[in-house]
Each structure stands twice: as structure tokens, then as C-alpha cells.
Structure 1
């Protein structure tokens, strides 16, 4: 492959999760800034989230991060199931994103259902674990608070 994929350039053996990392930044021809963040929840090559957990967290963060941050374009799970990519318009610091993530995960802990968990709004609505999402959120929030607050 001749294209350089940023996530393939990071040494996954030298990071400690959870963390927030600014991993991409482009300026469009019209001057708009698009920024990509690595929201790493679990330690690469040591732990991954079950699909039901990551799917529920994806649905929940889709709304909660937009409540915390302006100009969110997308929040998508990583194929390795160790975290998510956040894409947004404009510049933000890792600390701003981390605080928004902490606030969003605290909402996950307190929520009572997963939005759009039905056959009309989701292509795999049966594969979600709200219980698991809350358990991972509790663990990750505790760890992120130690680093970012």
C-alpha cells in the first residue's frame, strides 16, 4: 500500500489507554479545518470491547458528544474494538475533547436506554449491551479523570 494511514504509523505497543489523541488535521481548499481524534478506551493488543458494548457506546456517544461539542461530524468505532474516532469541524485541544468525553461517558453511566436500538433505525439493533456499556464507561471515566481533570 502506498497510501500512509496515520493509525498504522502509531506504535500500538508504546501507548497506555485510555487516552485522547489528536491524530489528524486537514484544511480544505476553502479553508475549513477538519480534525480527527483517537478516543482510545482499552489497551491495544491486550483488551478489546465486545461488539455489543462498543455498539451501544457508539449509539450513546453519537448524541452525548454532540451535546458537549459543537460541529461533530462523526463518531465511529475502531475495527480493533479498542476505541473510537471522533471527527469534527474546527480546532479543539485534546483536553477539551477529553473533558467532553468524560461528561458524555458520565451520561452513559446514568442513561436508561440506548437510542435508536430498533430495526428501523439500526442495522444490527440486537447486538447491544447497555449494561456492558455502563461498566466500561465507569472504568474509563475513572482512568480519564486521573489524566485530564
Structure 2
């Protein structure tokens, strides 16, 4: 059986919110991809409602791409406590945390529903399940706690 890194992580030891480099891998042609844990809420204590996760997914896919080069994908965790971020290249956890802080600030205080891409019946697989209000409220909570560049020791970025 393959070992999945995130299933070996002791979720009782991490201190959310944080950014954590899960892994980086080099392909046969030398390209490097990285997988990050963007943890918004403390595992096994809180979870994001599905409409909030869905709205965050759409907004992060748009807004983070303007701040971090080489984004391949942003996908929610099934546990609804955060997201995977997959990139070409390996930006530092601090760079990712700074970009995420900026994006959550925009979501919390500037974003209007018409700013969200892909929320129509034609462009979304579940267009009825979005909550911008919830995303704004959770963004404020996450920002108030601060995003750490380390999963185990609180080193909040500005």
C-alpha cells in the first residue's frame, strides 16, 4: 500500500492556520512540482461549511494565481479544514503565506459576488452551493489568528 504523507501527519500537533510544504517532486525532465497544505482551521476541532469551501475554492483559484507563479491546482481537503496548493516550482512557505494573507484580506473586505468566477449553471457543477458571506466571515477569523509559515510553531507572516 502506498504511503500518503497527509495520512501520516499527526493532526494533533499542527497549529492552524498555516502553510506547510507537504512535498516537492522532480519529474523525469527535471521539472519540479510542489504540494502545499493551506490549513485554515484546526483539524478535528472545526470545519468549513461546504458553501464556504466552494466559494473559497473559486476565489483562491483566481486570486492566488495573480500572486504566485506556476499554480497548477487548488483543491479542498475532504475534511474541509483547508486546501492543497500544487505549483510548478517551489515558492517558500513564507511567500505562499504572504500571498494567502493578501488574498484573504481581499475576500474579507473587498470581494463582491459578481467578482467570483464560475458561479453560473453553465460554469459550475454545483452553482447553488456558494456562500460569499461565509467566506468573508471565515477569512476574517483566519486573518485575526494570522497565517503561520510553519505548521508546528506559530510564525505568523505579515
How well do the aligned residues superpose, as a CA RMSD in angstroms? 1.0
Is 2:112 aligned against 1:112? yes
Contact 1:98–1:144, Cα closer than 8 Å, also in 2:
no
3-state secondary structure, aligned to 1:73 = strand
| Larger RCO (CA under 8 A, 6+ residues apart) | 2
5 Å-filtered alignment, 1:1-149, equals 2-109=1-108, 110-113=110-113, 114-144=116-146, 147-149=156-158
TM-score normalised by L of structure 1: 0.96
Which runs of 5 or more residues in structure 2 are unaligned? 148-154
Q: C-alpha separation between the residues in 2 aligned to 1:28 and 1:15?
A: 29
TM-score normalised by L of structure 2: 0.91
Q: C-alpha separation between the residues in 2 aligned to 1:83 and 1:49?
A: 8
Alpha-carbon deviation of 1:142?
A: 2.3
3-state secondary structure, aligned to 2:156 = helix
Deviation beyond 3 Å, 4+ runs, structure 1: none
Which runs of 5 or more residues in structure 1 are unaligned? none
Number of positions where the alignment pairs a residue of Structure 1 with one of Structure 2? 148
